[in-house]
């Protein structure tokens, strides 16, 4: 599908992309670059990328697809570094969890001769680094492509084909809408998990290790999410500030209302609220929107 793909930043997402590209035979050659020597050494040792380059400029030279797989806060710096070395007609994409800030940071550094098609795979784990990737990460998960004004339709279609080849379902979305949707579905939930684990840690003196020993599914999931990479998540919140603050504002209002219901013993309020939220989960399943369901994607449910 592409002759030469360059992956910049060799962590969870880039390494998963590499293994998925190899699994599907989707590119002639894959080059890679990471800022730290240690990451490049690890990548070479485990056979991650056909060629690991010692500079970003070298990695992107002659590539017809370049994908920025670095934390959101450094996307602009990396774009400035590679801009002068991009091949004419190449597509530049990214996998950042935030889209508007990345577009604003990256676009000014790209020459007019390349196509910019931002993207975001809605798939990940709490692990990071070059050894954490696996070919199946994107299987049956959504990837959102977020074309910018003037994005070339052929470049978008070709990139869609690559993601589908890596096992993903693909949709397109407008950048600000993406950031609001992700604030609800991913960014605010991560912050809530971080907070809950922080609260448990503050209580450590009182609870000793019982919180960990007896943690039921809910808290266990929070600890998994709260183990995610601190640099990545710092950058997500600093770069999706408005949407995250909007959602957290609504969240705290609802939380206060539930808190008051508990204090007042208002069981009706609690029961009505939990009934409504249960219907949302059932709605996801009944509408055929659960990508984990065995028949998802068949029978026109997508």
Ligand X SMILES: O=C(O)C(=O)Cc1ccc(O)cc1
Ligand Y SMILES: NC(=O)C1=CN([C@@H]2O[C@H](COP(=O)(O)OP(=O)(O)OC[C@H]3O[C@@H](n4cnc5c(N)ncnc54)[C@H](O)[C@@H]3O)[C@@H](O)[C@H]2O)C=CC1
Q: Determine, following the binding rule CB under 6 A, whether residue 13 of this chain makes contact with ligand Y.
A: yes
Q: Determine, following the binding rule CB under 6 A, whether residue 69 of this chain makes contact with ligand Y.
A: yes
x/- map, 36-65, ligand Y, by CB under 6 A: x--x--------------------------
Nearest to 96 by CA among 191, 196, 225, 235: 235
The distance of closest approach from Cβ of residue 43 to ligand Y in the complex, given in angstroms and rounded to an integer, is 8
Which residue's CB is nearer to ligand Y, number 6 or number 12?
12
Between the CA atoms of 129, 133, 138 and 141, what dihedral angle is there, to the nearest 10 degrees? -60
Stretch near ligand X under the rule CB under 6 A, chosen from 99-107, 116-124, 171-179, 267-275: 116-124
Cα–Cα distance list, 90 to 63, 294, 295 (Å): 7, 37, 37
Query: Over the chain, what HEC string results?
Result: CEEEEEEECCCHHHHHHHHHHHHHCCEEEEEEECCCHHHHHHHHHHCCCCEECCCHHHHHCCCCEEEECCCHHHHHHHHHHHHHHCCCCCEEEECCCCCHHHHHHHHHHCCCCCEECCEEECCCCCCCCCCCCCCCCCCCCEEEECCCCCCCHHHHHHHHHHHHHCCCEEEECCHHHHHHHHHHHHHHHHHHHHHHHHHHHHCHHHHCCHHHHCCCHHHHHHHHHCCCCHHHHHHHHHHCHHHHHHHHHHHHHHHHHHHHHHHHCCHHHHHHHHHHHHHHHHHHHHCCCCCCCCCCCCCCCC
Which residue's CB is nearer to ligand Y, number 78 or number 110?
78
Q: Determine, following the binding rule CB under 6 A, whether residue 97 of this chain makes contact with ligand X.
A: yes
Q: Which of 6, 90, 225, 226 binds ligand X (CB under 6 A)?
A: 225
Which residue's CB is nearer to ligand X, number 9 or number 124?
124
The distance of closest approach from Cβ of residue 124 to ligand Y in the complex, given in angstroms and rounded to an integer, is 2
Q: d(Cα 76, Cα 83) in Å, to the nearest integer?
A: 10
Q: Determine, following the binding rule CB under 6 A, whether residue 122 of this chain makes contact with ligand X.
A: yes
Q: d(Cα 102, Cα 129) in Å, to the nearest integer?
A: 21
The distance of closest approach from Cβ of residue 296 to ligand X in the complex, given in angstroms and rounded to an integer, is 18
x/- map, 171-190, ligand X, by CB under 6 A: ---------------x----
| Site size for ligand X (CB under 6 A) | 8
Q: Determine, following the binding rule CB under 6 A, whether residue 129 of this chain makes contact with ligand Y.
A: yes
Which residue's CB is nearer to ligand X, number 13 or number 56?
13
Q: Determine, following the binding rule CB under 6 A, whether residue 77 of this chain makes contact with ligand Y.
A: yes
* From the list ligand Y, ligand X, none, partner contacted by residue 71 (C-beta under 5 to 8 A by kind): ligand Y
Q: Determine, following the binding rule CB under 6 A, whether residue 12 of this chain makes contact with ligand Y.
A: yes
Q: Determine, following the binding rule CB under 6 A, whether residue 124 of this chain makes contact with ligand X.
A: yes
Q: Which of 52, 59, 66, 70 binds ligand Y (CB under 6 A)?
A: 70
* From the list ligand X, ligand Y, none, partner contacted by residue 22 (C-beta under 5 to 8 A by kind): none
Q: Which residues bind ligand X (CB under 6 A)?
A: 97, 122-126, 186, 225
Q: Which residues bind ligand Y (CB under 6 A)?
A: 8-14, 34-36, 39, 69-72, 74, 77-78, 95-97, 121, 124-125, 128-129, 229, 232, 236
């Amino acid at each position: 599908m592409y002759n030469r793909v360059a992956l910049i930043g060799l962590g969870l997402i880039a390494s998963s992309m590499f293994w998925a590209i190899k699994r599907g035979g989707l590119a002639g050659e894959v080059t890679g670059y990471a800022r730290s020597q240690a990451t490049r050494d690890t990548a070479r040792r485990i056979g991650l990328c056909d060629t690991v380059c010692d500079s970003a400029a070298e990695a992107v030279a002659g590539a017809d697809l370049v994908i920025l797989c670095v934390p959101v806060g450094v996307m602009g710096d990396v774009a400035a570094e590679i801009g002068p070395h991009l091949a004419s007609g190449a597509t530049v994409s990214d996998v950042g969890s935030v889209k508007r800030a990345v577009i604003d940071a990256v676009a000014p550094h790209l020459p007019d001769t390349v196509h910019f098609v931002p993207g975001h795979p809605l798939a990940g784990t709490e692990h990071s680094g070059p050894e954490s990737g696996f070919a199946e990460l994107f299987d049956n998960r959504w990837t959102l492509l977020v074309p910018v004004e003037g994005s070339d339709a052929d470049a978008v279609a070709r990139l869609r084909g690559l993601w589908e080849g890596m096992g993903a379902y693909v949709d397109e979305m407008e950048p600000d809408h993406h950031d609001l949707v992700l604030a609800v579905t991913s960014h605010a939930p991560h912050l809530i998990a971080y907070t809950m684990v922080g609260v448990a840690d503050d209580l450590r003196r009182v609870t000793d290790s019982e919180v960990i020993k007896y943690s039921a599914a809910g808290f266990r999931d929070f600890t998994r999410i709260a183990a995610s990479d601190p640099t990545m998540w710092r950058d997500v919140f600093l770069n999706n500030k408005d949407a995250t603050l909007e959602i957290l504002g609504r969240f705290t209002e609802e939380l206060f209302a539930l808190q008051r219901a508990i204090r007042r013993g208002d069981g009706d309020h609690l029961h009505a609220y939990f009934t409504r939220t249960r219907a949302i989960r059932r709605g996801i399943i009944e509408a055929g929107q659960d990508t984990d369901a065995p028949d998802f994607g068949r029978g026109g449910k997508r």
